[in-house]
A and B are shown apart, each in its own frame.
Chain A
Amino acid sequence: MIRFKNYVKASSLEEAYTLNQKKSSVIGGGMMWLKMQNRVKVTLIDLSGLGLDTIEETEEEFRIGAMCTLRELETHKGLNTYFQGVMKECTRFIVGTQFRNGATVGGSVFGRFGFSDITTCLLPLDSYVELYQGGIVPLKDFCTMKFDRDILVRIIIKKDGRKVSYASQRMAKTDFPQIACCISEKDGNIAVSVGARPNLAEVVYLEKAGKSAEELAAEAADSFRYGSNMRGSAEYRNHLAKVYIRRMLEQFEMEGK
């Protein structure tokens, strides 16, 4: 379990950022993963007093505060209506309601966890991360950035009318995913992300260009690298990615008809 000396509820992002420049400090999000780590810190910085727990919808975008919980993402009507229920689909199998009432969107994205359903789901959308110092960065770029001591303030998703679909496979239902896939499509441009490979989700872009769902799925799935762990081999993951991407593309085709 994590141990620390001082709990500080930050009263401004500036204060949080300043405190976080010390290696002995750590930002507390939902405390779900952090709690389980056997680390000793001096200061835990709590962002829960900064009003970062809201989901705002404007004409152009959704702005999701870093301290929003996965449960809020799951149950937010505007988000799920606009994005065809994927926010619910990518969260509802994560451990349990109580866990999702605690785990935060910011923690999930900032951690750049291989198993992250959330990052997988956000990548094929026009998503950005707002960092306190680093400013607004496309999520895709954030995923490959080195860990630094900046603070993730919010996630921004542009409302550009993409169709989107999400699928994951798990051994037991609330386990980590063996594979997580998300696809989006707009004007024949397709974005495909695959997470839990078991590495962090990445995204590729394809053009439909008259190709069949099968061909597109194979092209997308084969452009990622897969690894083996307790939950599945690289080969099986590659196969699963192909199957789920194809099925979602076929579903798009059906809906398009």
Chain B
Amino acid sequence: MEHKMRTVNTPVIKKDAKALVTGKPVYTDDLAPKDSLIVKILRSPHAHALIKNIDTTRAEAAEGIVCVLTYKDVPNKRFTMAGQTYPEPSPYDRLILDQRLRFVGDAVAIIAGESERAVEHAMRFIKVEYEVLEPVLDFHKAKDGDILVHPEDNWKSLCPVGADNKRNLCASGIDEDGDVDEIISGCDYVVEEVYHTKANQQAMMETFQAFTYLDSYGRLNVVASTQIPFHTRRILAHALDIPKSQVRVIKPRIGGGFGAKQTVVAEVYAAIVTMKTGKPAKMIYTRYESQIASSPRHEMEIKVRIGADKNGLIQAIDVYTLSNTGAFGEHGPTTVGLSGHKSIPLYGRAKAFRFAYDVVYTNHMSAGAYRGYGATQGLFAVESAVNELAAKLHMDPVVLREKNMVQEGDVMPAYYGETLNSCALDRCMARAKEMIDWDKKFPYVDMGNGKVRSVGVAMAMQGSAISNVDVASVEIRLNDDGFYTLLIGASDMGTGCDTTLSQVAADCLECDLDEIVVHGTDTDVSPYDSGSYASSTMYLTGMAVVKACEEIRGKIVKKASEYLNCDKETLEFDGKRVFQPEGDLEISLKDIGNQIMCCNDDTISAGATHTSNVSPPPFMVGMAEIELDKETGTVEMVDYVAVVDCGTTVNPNLARVQTEGGIAQGIGMALYEEISYTEKGQLRENSFMQYKLPTRMDVGDIRVEFESSYEPTGPFGAKSIGEIVINTPSPAIANAVANASGVYVRTLPITAEKIYQGMKNK
């Protein structure tokens, strides 16, 4: 049934807005019981070491200390902290605490006590004797190297991802179509370069946090700032070696995630303390811990070869990605896939492609999921290479893209052979060009004071949910007076999905948004959802809402036909009442809602589950305008223009802010956010003092518009928005820098010094 859009596509205010802006206690740490034990971790000072001896007696005896746990106290069954559908592609390579320490910051011991002061004090009394081992710090040397990060025999990989712990391989593989080498050898123009992206931190303002307690049934209750309540339930059961029925996970408001909280970073530590002591416990990560022992983006080095004919038609693309998963394999086998599968298909005219990859273990902090999930890295490489190709061809990079970009109706061999049902990439490009006045500003305008203003361009795609894997479910119930309760398993992490999913429900049920009460997420109450990641929430959970609303509408009409004593085929439902268009009978939804509370044996509720065999890509064009100082190499962001095709925008305000926010993060990645290690494997950028997020003085203007296609498999034509938005700034800014200075910076971040050195060495 077709529904008119009344609430969908309008910029309604988020349902939780008032609580958030008035500072109500709605986040994990605000809700933790006052008597929670404070849990802290003693962390490894070495990048690679074995614990020879650990003596906790003095710490345990200290005042206010309740328990100290070491590797001897935890189950010896390996698991993964990656929030993925079971069986997880990420290898089972972790223990809660291990005798082998694999990065500076790895957990040595868990200590819990009555106050932060007591715990910090007592931590100094844990005596550890380490056998320091040589670490693997260079990810180029990890594969088949002499030092193994995971030599243990109980390491295991559940999926065929090409993993081999005896080769330091977390995954490896190849995917190809056509003969790339032959086609490239016949090309008039070939670009072959290597690009390097860093292990950026999501740096959501709320760090990793969780508290745990036992309920009246003796079950472990976990309140956590997580994107993946259901996966967390399973992962904790695995980690603690207890039945899944014994775990309940509740998600309150979350202070941002961006993929960081798609990994179970903090939860296990509080959970095991509660299991051992029976007492409530809370684990609040410091920013320092969030910087050095968390789940950042996979560092990748990507070699790209692109061949084109003399007219600028791209003939073949060859991508090899080396990904650094760090000490553990969380999201290692999957992120790497996107570096090719979500970059190569942008160029639909190519005759052949090859995408090969290795994901290696090193003694760096483990990587995880970060917005863009590998596509960001791949797009920096491929889009930069396309821009370099344009320069070789002496062609405007916009024109080069116009000739080569994928179009609606194309079959995409590098994208699992999917057919593109919805795509407004061409319109995005045309509009972006207009907005930034590309033709006037390309390649640069000399400002006459040693400074030039230049423009740069990049395209991007992402997916919408993981096809044939992700599952979304919702339930909707009719209540007295005719209001509805919408139970969702998706996790609103500030993105506003509680509101946007309610918008979908309100339009399907033809009611006001206020008539929908939304509840998410509690694994005891909410229906199963794989979680809020992979750009799945609106596309997948939104569709589950559409299905559930359809079903409950039928039930409402059927119940009305009973109350009205007529054939249900004669009735229609307009959201407020069920009535006979051809007759006089009618009953209000309010009356139905109230009557079902008395002498009724029908449940007026509906549940729906949805999965998808396709993952329709949203598209985007980003254009950066910068001002570059030719003497110093400094770059100022002047303007950033983005035009997005995310299908129908369910809430234009929230979609816009997602885009602006993603672009600002992308600007950070492009210009400021460095991750580097000392020779001993210590992470240098271990605080916000050293890891520089862009401030409001750094981002320049950001202007966003939408050019919507209509995705037939999405709710009201929607695709996804959450991830794609971070993908264009790095390549677009690199392009603008090259247009201003002639220097292509291929290793992020693009610092003034790299540009200066490049200009000097020309």
Contact = CB atoms under 8 A, between A and B. Distances in A.
Task: Please say whether the chains A and B touch (CB closer than 8 A).
Answer: yes
Nearest to B667: A172
Interface stretch (B396-404, B546-554, B605-613, B687-695): B687-695
Contact of A173 (B676, B684, B690, B695): B695
A240 B755 CA distance: 13
Interface stretch (A60-68, A116-124, A150-158, A228-236): A228-236
A230 B756 contact: no
B753 interface: yes
A196 to B, nearest CB: 14
Nearest to A242: B631
Nearest to B684: A230
B756 A236 contact: yes
Given A230-B684, A236-B753, A239-B756, A173 B698 contact: yes
Nearest to B697: A173
Interface string B676-718: 1000000011000010111101100000000000000000000
B676 A172 contact: no
A174 B672 contact: no
Contact of B693 (A169, A172, A232, A240): A172
B125 to A, nearest CB: 15
B699 to A, nearest CB: 10
Contact of B692 (A169, A172, A236, A240): A172
B634 interface: yes
Nearest to A244: B632
A3 B692 CA distance: 27
B692 A232 contact: no
Interface string A221-257: 0000000001011001001100100000000000000
A216 B672 CA distance: 32
Contacts of B631: 243
User: Which residue of A169, A230, A236 has the most chain B CB atoms within 10 A of its CB atom?
Assistant: A236
Given A173-B695, A175-B692, A240-B632, A230 B752 contact: no
Contacts of B690: 230
Interface string A153-181: 00000000000000001011111001000
Contacts of A230: 674, 676, 684-685, 690
B10 interface: no
A230 B690 CA distance: 9
A243 B752 CA distance: 14
Contacts of B752: 169, 171, 178
Contacts of A173: 695, 697-698
A241 to B, nearest CB: 11
B286 to A, nearest CB: 10
Given A230-B684, A239-B756, A169 B698 contact: no
A240 B631 CA distance: 8
Nearest to A237: B753
B447 to A, nearest CB: 15
A240 B760 CA distance: 13
A139 to B, nearest CB: 26
A233 B756 CA distance: 12
B698 A232 contact: no
Interface in B596-636: 631-632, 634
A175 B694 CA distance: 10
A171 B689 CA distance: 12
Nearest to A96: B695
A3 B120 CA distance: 11
B751 interface: yes
Given A169-B632, A243-B631, A233 B676 contact: no
Contact of A172 (B632, B684, B694, B757): B694
A172 B698 contact: yes
Interface string A87-123: 0000000000000000000000000000000000000
Nearest to B760: A239
Contacts of B692: 171-172, 175
Given A230-B674, A230-B684, A230-B690, A171 B632 contact: no
A240 B632 CA distance: 6
Contacts of A175: 672, 692
Contact of B751 (A3, A171, A239): A171
Nearest to B687: A36
Contact of A232 (B117, B676, B753): B753
Nearest to B753: A236
Contacts of A178: 752
Contacts of A171: 671-672, 692, 751-752
A2 B676 CA distance: 27
Nearest to A246: B631
A58 B685 CA distance: 45
A172 B756 contact: no
Given A243-B631, A243-B632, A172 B753 contact: no
Nearest to A176: B689
Contacts of B632: 169, 239-240, 243
A3 B121 CA distance: 11
A172 B692 CA distance: 7
User: Which residue of B631, B676, B690 has the most chain A CB atoms within 10 A of its CB atom?
Assistant: B631
A236 B698 CA distance: 22
B289 to A, nearest CB: 14
Nearest to B668: A172
B695 A233 contact: no
B697 A174 contact: yes
A68 to B, nearest CB: 23
A3 B694 CA distance: 32
Contacts of B694: 172
B597 to A, nearest CB: 54
A65 to B, nearest CB: 27
Contacts of B684: 230
A175 B674 CA distance: 13
B672 A172 contact: yes
A237 B469 CA distance: 52
Interface in A182-239: 230, 232-233, 236, 239
B285 to A, nearest CB: 15
Given A172-B672, A174-B697, A240-B632, 20 more contacts: A169-B632, A169-B752, A171-B671, A171-B692, A171-B751, A171-B752, A172-B671, A172-B692, A172-B695, A173-B695, A174-B695, A178-B752, A230-B674, A230-B690, A232-B753, A233-B753, A236-B753, A236-B757, A243-B631, A243-B632
Interface of B: 117, 631-632, 634, 671-672, 674, 676, 684-685, 690, 692-695, 697-698, 751-753, 756-757
9 cross-chain pairs, A with B, having the tightest CB-CB distances, nearest first: A172-B692, A173-B697, A236-B753, A172-B672, A243-B631, A175-B692, A173-B698, A174-B695, A172-B698
6 contacts: A169-B752, A172-B692, A173-B695, A173-B697, A239-B756, A240-B632
